[in-house]
Amino acid sequence: RPGGQQSAGSGARTYKLAVIPKGTTHEFWKAVHAGAVKAGQELGVEIFWKGPQKEDDRAQQITVVEDFISRRVDGIVLAPLDDRALMRPVDEAMRDGIPVVIMDSNLQGDNYISFVATDNYQGGVLAARRLAEVLGGKGKIFLIRYLEGSASTTFREQGFLETITKDYPGIEFLVKDQYAGTTTESAYQLTENLLSRYPQVEGIFAPNESSTFGALRALQHYGLAGKVKLVGFDSSAKLIQALENNEIQGLVLQDPMKMGYLAVKVLLDHIQGRPVEKRIDTGVTVATPENMNQPEIRNLLEPDFARYVR
């Protein structure tokens, strides 16, 4: 293990760790980035932050992993875009003595150091309960999906779908298999077109930030914001504002900064020979207009990452 040897030999060397998100332009990943940088600063390691050039492109993420193996970084934190496709590059890294910590989404097999993530299915379940609560247990709703084959959002959608079907027979899905695509604009158009068709809708769930925001914009556009209940995932300034205005009734929050921080920390622990846990849960919470001003929720809504990333 070259990394291990060197660190044993010269304590002065700073470790170079690669952190590979699924994409770089969502608020969520910004917070993960901040967490990773924070850990980097506190623990004295250098962080390379690098996602696939096209958001959500599995093949390109494999390339990024390979390129970092070529670069021979000391360790990799990876949010795999696919639980299978990224297996081999991760195996290769491990074989080459580069330890890998998985975050956010799962990877099949267990050839990695540790898995640091939110329980996405549980997030979907919480969202379903919240939407059912604001609808009073009955109504007609949309499930807007994110992207074909995206694991974490698929879990959320599944958690949502199964909870509603199982626990809330009064709630009826008008739409449950339309995909919003990766951009806000595509989610916006989809929701608009759906609203055109089903003006009777009463609630919407969207499984990530871009689709939540797109749905919100469409509701605002139709003057339905606040009337149609919206439960989303993740946060951003506009979403928080909407939450304040009661245009959004619930946001399922993860703790991305904690995720980034823990992933780096666990990786470094491993490199330096400390034992680590195989599975680390970073927790989910629902922010509502009512509880959003509680400090711990505030902290999740607006993680203070300005200090770490510009």
What residues make contact with other proteins under the rule CB under 8 A? 18, 24-25, 27, 30, 48-51, 53-59, 62-64, 66-72, 82, 84-85, 87-88, 92, 147-149, 154, 175, 177-179, 182-185, 188-190, 192-194, 196-197, 213, 217, 221-223, 236-238, 310
Q: Quick one: which of 117, 39, 113, 116 has its CA closest to 275?
A: 113
* Spatial CB neighbours of 274, under 8 Å, sequence gap ≥ 6: none
Q: How far is CA 130 from the centre of its chain?
A: 19
**Residue 218 Cβ vs other proteins, minimum distance, rounded to whole Å:** 9
Decide if 66 contacts 89 (C-beta within 8 A). Answer: yes
Closest approach, Cβ 128 to other proteins, in A, equals: 21
Q: Which is nearer to other proteins, 144 or 297 (CB)?
A: 144
Nearest partner of 251 among 198, 191, 308, 209, judged by Cα: 209
Nearer CB in complex with other proteins: 276/309: 309
Task: Give the nearer residue to other proteins in terms of CB position, either 227 or 274.
Answer: 227
**Packing angle of the helix pair 58-71, 87-95 (nearest 10 deg):** 10
- Nearest-approach distance from CB 168 to other proteins, in angstroms: 21
b/e map 74-109, b = 16+ CB within 10 Å: bbbbbbbbbeebbbebbeebeeeebbbbbbbbebee
Q: In whole angstroms, how close is the CB of 129 to other proteins at the nearest point?
A: 26
Query: Shortest approach of other proteins to residue 178 CB, angstroms?
Result: 6
- Write down the least CB distance from residue 176 to other proteins, Å: 10
Nearer to other proteins, 63 or 122 (CB): 63
For 225-263, letters b (16+ CB in 10 Å) and e give beebbbbbbbbbebbbebbeeebbbbbbbbbbbbbbbbb
Toward other proteins, which CB reaches closer, 31 or 128?
Answer: 31
> Whole-number minimum distance, CB 187 to other proteins, in Å?
10
Cβ atoms of 131 and 250 within 8 Å: the answer is: yes
Q: Nearest to residue 103, comparing CAs of 149, 35, 160, 157?
A: 35
Closest CA to 219 of 196, 253, 250: 196
> Closest by alpha carbon to 40, among 1, 81, 74, 2?
74
- DSSP symbol at 225: B
Give the nearest distance from C-beta 194 to other proteins in angstroms.
6
Nearer to other proteins, 63 or 111 (CB): 63
User: Which CB sits closer to other proteins, 238 or 298?
Assistant: 238
Q: By the 8 A CB rule, do 292 and 301 touch?
A: yes
